[in-house]
Amino acid sequence: MSDVVALRSRGTWQGVLNIIFSTGSMIVAPLGGYLADTIGWRWAFIMQFPAIILAFIAALLALHLPPHPTSDLKSKLKRIDSEALSPSSSSSSFSSTVSNVAGT
């Protein structure tokens, strides 16, 4: 968000996004239940496709993002924090393996 909105108006936009997120969270459960009871649960997923396309087009038209500098793969790989990635990935692999072996 800090790349798109100026720091001075960041609080306002964060509030607007929080209102949108909470409103969507409140509406989606009853609406999904209503749709499942009336026209079938598959329509809840079918209706998401046009909304996603509209949101994608709106984001493309409304956001004026600065272009990212292009770089080669080697410089991108150097930016990876391997010291932080190693414990995180190994603990995720370990817990996944234990869950798989335990049968849960």
Under 8 Å between Cβ of 44 and 36: yes
pLDDT given for residue 56 in this prediction: 93
Q: Tell whether 81 is covered by a domain.
A: yes
Number of domain units in the chain: 1
pTM equals 0.47
- Is residue 2 one of the residues assigned to a domain? no
Position 1 in a domain: no
* Residue in 23, 27, 45 with CA at minimum distance from that of residue 36: 45
For residue 62, give its domain range. 7-102
**pLDDT tens digits, one per residue of 7-54:** 888 899 899 999 999 999 999 889 888 888 998 888 878 888 998 999
